[in-house]
């Protein structure tokens, strides 16, 4: 499947700050990943660390925290990984599922699960 981007907003409601960026839709990624410098600017602190297997098969420890994620008018507080500096945001499968989207890779768009025919 080809990759495409959608606008994603990360919000810290306690600090009254948000930041919108292009996020790569990647259904092979379990969690969404936001650049660590964005999370720092929004005063979203890590609450833990998890180990994940990267595309090159290496295993790395990455901090995570809870962030309010908004995509196409839907939002929810979700566990979000702090992606190392200088990298792009990734919209992962768990976030897609929690926000009730399915991916249309042909037309490079997200579709509400309520709009999908059985």
- pLDDT, residue 55, reads 76
Q: What is the pLDDT of residues 98-109, one digit of tens each?
A: 999 999 989 999
Give the side-chain half-sphere CA count within 13 A for 65: 19
pTM: 0.88
- pLDDT, residue 34, reads 97
Q: Which residues contact 118 (CB under 8 A, 6 or more apart)?
A: none
CA dist 72 and 90 (Å) reads: 15
Total tally of structural domains belonging to the chain: 1
- pLDDT, residue 117, reads 59
- pLDDT, residue 21, reads 97
Residue with tokens 């990734």: 90
Residue 30 near residue 81 (C-beta atoms within 8 A): no
- pLDDT, residue 77, reads 95
Cα Rg, the chain, nearest whole Å: 14
Is 42 in a helix, a strand, or coil? Answer: coil
Residue range(s) defining the domain that contains residue 71: 4-115
In sequence order, the β-bridge partners of residue 82 are: 34
The CATH number that applies at residue 101 is 2.40.70.10
Q: What is the pLDDT of residues 37-71, one digit of tens each?
A: 999 999 999 999 999 887 789 999 999 999 999 99
């Amino acid at each position: 499947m080809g990759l495409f981007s959608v606008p994603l907003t990360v919000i810290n409601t306690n600090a009254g700050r948000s930041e919108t960026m292009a996020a790569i839709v990647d259904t092979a990624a379990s969690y969404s990943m936001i650049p660590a410098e964005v999370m720092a600017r929004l005063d979203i602190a890590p609450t833990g660390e998890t180990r994940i297997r990267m595309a090159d098969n290496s295993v790395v420890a990455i901090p995570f925290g809870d962030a309010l994620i908004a995509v196409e008018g839907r939002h929810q507080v979700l566990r979000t990984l702090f992606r190392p500096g200088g990298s792009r945001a990734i919209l992962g499968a768990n976030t897609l599922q929690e926000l009730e989207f399915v991916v249309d890779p042909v037309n490079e768009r997200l579709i509400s699960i309520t709009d999908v025919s059985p």
